[in-house]
Structure formats: structure tokens, C-alpha cells
């Protein structure tokens, strides 16, 4: 059961200086692209995956109504 475990994602964040919908909280905020690089299926290859998330983590936390979108985001980036 992974519900009570801490999960970390390491990646890069590039601010876009524009407002859009955050994939974590679904708020209309200033966002940036968060990218992670994971090992590909073929040895020596990598795949980049990412999505738009709030630039301001405090605003994102305040906008978040449930953890469902956050958990979906983590699962998508881990695969």
C-alpha cells in the first residue's frame, strides 16, 4: 500500500511567465513546465515526461481540493 509513503520526484522546472491550468490543482495560475527524465525501455535511452504546474507552490497548495490529481501526476511521471 503506497498511500502513506513519501514520494519524491526529481526534475527541472522552467517558468513560462503565463497563466494556464495547473495539472496538480487545476487552478488558473502562473505555470511552468516540470520535466522528469526516466530510463527508457531500451538500455541507454531516456524519456522525458512532464506537465504544467503552478510556479507558486503556496498558491497550488491552497487551490488543491484533493490529492487525486497529485497522485495521478506522480503515477504518470513514474512510468
Phi then psi for residue 27, to 5 deg, are -80, 155
pLDDT at 40: 82
Q: Which long-range contacts (CB under 8 A, 24 or more apart) does 39-48 make?
A: none
CA count, 13 A, side-chain hemisphere, 33: 8
Please count the other Cβ atoms lying within 10 Å of the Cβ belonging to residue 76.
13
pLDDT tens for 19-55 read 999 999 999 999 999 999 888 888 889 888 889 999 9
pLDDT at 74: 85
What residue segments make up the domains of the chain, in order of their start?
12-78
Amino acid at each position: 500500500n503506497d498511500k502513506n509513503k513519501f514520494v519524491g520526484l526529481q526534475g527541472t522546472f522552467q517558468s513560462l511567465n503565463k497563466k494556464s491550468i495547473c495539472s496538480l490543482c487545476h487552478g488558473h495560475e502562473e505555470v511552468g513546465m516540470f520535466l522528469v527524465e526516466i530510463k527508457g525501455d531500451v538500455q541507454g535511452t531516456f524519456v522525458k515526461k512532464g506537465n504544467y504546474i503552478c510556479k507558486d507552490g503556496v498558491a497550488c497548495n491552497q487551490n488543491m481540493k484533493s490529492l487525486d490529481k497529485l497522485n495521478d501526476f506522480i503515477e504518470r511521471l513514474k512510468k
